Structure 1
Amino acid sequence: MFKLKEYNTTVKTEIIAGITTFLTMVYIVVVNPVILSDAGVPFDQVFTATIIATVIGTLWMAFFANYPIAIAPGMGLNAYFAYSVVGSHGDIDYQTAFAAVFVAGIIFVILSLTPFRKKLIEAIPENLKHGITAGIGLFIAFIGLRLTGIITSHPTNLVALGDLHSPSALLALAGLAITLILMALNVNGALFFGMIITGLIAFFTGQLSFEKGLVSLPSLPEGLLITNPFSAIGDVVQYSLYAVVFSFLLVTIFDTTGTMIGVAQQAGLMKGNTMPKAREALLADSVATTIGAMFGTSPTSAYIESSSGVAAGGRTGLTSLTVAVLFILSAFFGPLVSAVSGLSAITAPALIIVGSLMIGSISNIKWSEIDEAFPAFLIILSMPLTSSIATGIALGFISYPLLKIVKGKWREVHPLVYLFALLFFYQLAFLPH
């Protein structure tokens, strides 16, 4: 089913890769409920809805697309939902906001069933694709450094070196050293074993504890939040949530598309300028977004943490299947997942190392040609500085055709690139983001 021999991988490698991806992204089952609970959504509702959406999207990716890419509610989109949609529109409660997510999901599905999103992948210029991969790498490495306190905020310079004597920074540095040594020795599953050893160190030094126990039953206290598609569409019309739906659409399309391209390139799964089974892969997040909204979570996206599983050797949908199974199990181990994912120093070394692997794509960028190099550079620079994959892609898409026009090479630009340059400009200039 997963064509392991064709992709030169094994069951053991795929399972270890899946565990690695799971450990680097499982924080979402804790962080997502925390953020959405600020909008009034019950924590238990979001916890279970997050797992349902993740499992559905990731299983779809495993069985229909055969990619080692996990799907889950996207960071950034959940904050936009909680603080910009619910928080800034007076009489809009979270149930009405979920109607906007649901409608956006339906449009995602329609777009994914058409050749549109596949053509979009093929239309993105090669140098922008390399910039996206490198930018994501820099972004996730920055996340790993920031979450552990190795890098901290600074009032003048924005960021600065943190307190390297803090327990979190020391644990992360120890985990980074251990994982790098394992990788240098070519140990299979080095990222995974590095996290296991780091977790053991955390436990024996008192940083990791299980005060709330290990097991609890999942629950959906409010049941299904969206049961009638027509009433959801009616809510969007009644409250004029067109800009909200458009923002969800634009960000998720490019967040997911960019991440898929980056991870697929890292895994060597791109066939020239095309992505095999692109339609099946792109349907995964649109289906998960639609169903997730029904249960009570914000839009889903392909997860950049999937690159940690690829770095551990994941090449097929068996990696994704492993991730999905582990998320199903995590539904019954809420307290355990909360404890482990709450200690970012355990997973941060994997993010930092994967970032170093992904940024290698910059070697493929045509740095001698300003009209090719600068848009890619803008993507790489802006992703970590804005904490948004979609914003980085937006700036790249806007600057690329402009430079091509100035150079007299406007015919080299695909019409879809011009279209999305205008849409991104409109979004950045006039819509919340």
Structure 2
Amino acid sequence: MFKLQQRNTSVRTEILAGLTTFLTLAYIVVVNPMILSDAGVPFDQAFTATIIATIAGTLFMAFFANYPIIIAPAMGLNAYFAYSVLGTHNIPYSIAFSAVFITGILFLILSLTSFRAKLIDAIPNNLKHAISAGIGLFITFIGLRLSGIVADHPSNLVALGNFKDPKVSLTLIGIAITITLMTLNIQGALFIGMVITGAIAFFSGQLHFNKGVVAAPRLPEGLVVFNPLTSINDIIEFGLYGVVFSFLLVMLFDTTGALLGIVRQAGLLKEGKLERAGSAFFADSIGTTIGAMFGTSPTAASVESSAGVGAGGKTGLTGITVAVLFLITAFFSPLIGAVSDVTAITAPSLIIVGSFMIRSVSEINWHDFDEAFPAFLVIVSMPLTSSIANGIALGFISYPIMKIAKRKFRDVHPLVYIFAILFLYQLIYLAK
């Protein structure tokens, strides 16, 4: 069924690859609910929804695309959902999940058409790389702020925190432990770093398990979203068009980049092309749509899947192994909840993941000002405005303006002009 012999692998290799991927990605079941709960989503709801979305998307990827790729809530999009969408629009989280739900449906439709490829091709490469780098800075800033390393300042907005604070000290210890593990190329360094930091927190009296360790999975709010028509009305009423568009763009870039990179690493590209691309994108849309119904932010093909590929994973059996392990994890919500309450345990992961994403700046053409400045705007405005959407908007608005000024307006795809007008309208009339 999974073409194990054809891809020169075995059941044992695939299971070990799945275990490796799980250890590398396990931090998401702590970090994602922690970020969402910080914005008001009930922790148990976000925790269970994270696992449901991961299992649904990953199983679809495994059975229909047969790739060793894990679909899980995307870092960056969860922060955007929590701190930009909920934080600036002053809307209930159920309304925000409506935007995620419709994004998933739109992504599902795009995965069945050729417009997906046309849309990706229309976006300038520099802006694609800048979006990834900007999200990395945004995530790092969130980690620094939650840990107390960066603190509020009345006139300068931010300043260095108090290093005598036990939370700050624990975060710095956690960072030191995790980067040491990563320097030694230890698989699952982020997860292992959290475990060790958690143990230090427990013995230093900062971590408590007042609610026990094991409990049955629960969804306090039940289904958060289930009616597409109601979701569309929510988007129209609250002017969330820019939110949907931002989700859609980042999902396209995240999933496309991760898919191509990981499938190339596994040696599964056929003549440089991705087979079953439609099924792979469909899996991501399934994860996002189902995740929104239960209460989590958009999913994407996770870059952590490369750890499993590095361990020999080449088929969907790797994903099935990860899905089973996530299902087992669902019964440990009290343990995960206690860990997430101590932000110093999770903050190092946010800060370090940001450093992975900032690598994209090396791909940007910094020599031509008309290419460099729009990318620069994207990167700096995301963390400084606490919004991925604002960063994307400013980049898309400035790019065609500079190309027109340089008489290179024919080099700009017509879709980019349309996006620029829509973003300008959104910033002026729909921003809240």
Both proteins in one fold, TM over 0.5:
yes
Shift of 1:153: 2.0
Alignment-mate amino acid for residue 78 of structure 2: G
- Give me the TM-score of the superposition, normalised by structure 2: 0.79
Distance in 2, matches of 1:136 and 1:375, equals: 15
Equivalent in the alignment of 1:291: 290
Residues 256-335 of structure 1 mapped to structure 2, 5 A cutoff? 256-260=251-255, 263=258, 269=264, 278-295=277-294, 297=295, 300-302=298-300, 306-307=302-303, 310=306, 324-335=323-334
Q: Secondary structure at the residue paired with 2:428?
A: helix
Q: Secondary structure at the residue paired with 1:283?
A: helix
| 1:2-54 superposed Cα distances (whole Å, 9 cap, x missing partner) | 98879xx97646533432322145333354356455xxxx7755554454334
Equivalent in the alignment of 2:412: 413
Shift of 1:373: 0.8
Distance in 1, matches of 2:379 and 2:273, equals: 22
Shift of 1:233: 1.8
Q: Structure 1: state its 5+ residue gaps.
A: none
Shift of 1:326: 4.4
Alignment-mate amino acid for residue 246 of structure 2: V
In structure 2, the CA distance between the partners of 1:362 and 1:45, relative to structure 1 (3 Å rule), is closer
In structure 2, the CA distance between the partners of 1:403 and 1:261, relative to structure 1 (3 Å rule), is farther
Shift of 1:273: 11
Residues 116-155 of structure 1 mapped to structure 2, 5 A cutoff? 116-155=115-154
Q: Secondary structure at the residue paired with 1:70?
A: strand
Distance in 2, matches of 1:369 and 1:278, equals: 34
Equivalent in the alignment of 1:200: 199
Q: Secondary structure at the residue paired with 1:206?
A: coil
Let me know the Cα RMSD of the aligned residues.
3.9
Equivalent in the alignment of 1:55: 55
Equivalent in the alignment of 2:229: 233
Shift of 1:288: 3.3
In structure 2, the CA distance between the partners of 1:408 and 1:273, relative to structure 1 (3 Å rule), is farther
Q: Secondary structure at the residue paired with 2:208?
A: coil
In structure 2, the CA distance between the partners of 1:251 and 1:414, relative to structure 1 (3 Å rule), is same
Alignment-mate amino acid for residue 246 of structure 1: Y
Equivalent in the alignment of 2:357: 358
Alignment-mate amino acid for residue 233 of structure 1: L
Q: Secondary structure at the residue paired with 1:331?
A: helix
In structure 2, the CA distance between the partners of 1:59 and 1:336, relative to structure 1 (3 Å rule), is same
8 A Cα contact 1:137 1:357, kept in partner: yes
Shift of 1:220: 4.2
Shift of 1:298: 5.7
Shift of 1:353: 3.0
Alignment-mate amino acid for residue 335 of structure 2: L
Equivalent of 1:70 in 69, 72, 76: 72
8 A Cα contact 2:126 2:363, kept in partner: yes
8 A Cα contact 1:179 1:349, kept in partner: yes
Q: Secondary structure at the residue paired with 2:158?
A: strand
In structure 2, the CA distance between the partners of 1:358 and 1:211, relative to structure 1 (3 Å rule), is same
Q: Secondary structure at the residue paired with 1:26?
A: helix
Equivalent in the alignment of 1:22: 26
Distance in 1, matches of 2:322 and 2:22, equals: 5
Equivalent in the alignment of 1:251: 246
Shift of 1:382: 1.6
In structure 2, the CA distance between the partners of 1:351 and 1:101, relative to structure 1 (3 Å rule), is closer
Distance in 1, matches of 2:275 and 2:3, equals: 14
Distance in 2, matches of 1:376 and 1:410, equals: 18
Shift of 1:336: 0.7
Per mean C-alpha deviation after superposition, the further-off stretch among 363-372 and 46-55 is: 46-55
Distance in 1, matches of 2:298 and 2:248, equals: 10
Alignment-mate amino acid for residue 57 of structure 1: G
Q: Secondary structure at the residue paired with 1:27?
A: helix
| 1:288-316 superposed Cα distances (whole Å, 9 cap, x missing partner) | 34334544x2652438xx45665796887
Q: Secondary structure at the residue paired with 1:160?
A: strand
Alignment-mate amino acid for residue 210 of structure 2: E
In structure 2, the CA distance between the partners of 1:14 and 1:288, relative to structure 1 (3 Å rule), is closer
Distance in 2, matches of 1:186 and 1:102, equals: 37
Equivalent in the alignment of 1:404: 403
Shift of 1:417: 1.8
8 A Cα contact 1:132 1:379, kept in partner: yes
Distance in 2, matches of 1:14 and 1:350, equals: 21
Shift of 1:100: 6.4
Per mean C-alpha deviation after superposition, the further-off stretch among 63-72 and 138-147 is: 63-72
Aligned-residue sequence identity (percent) comes to 51
Q: Structure 2: state its 5+ residue gaps.
A: none
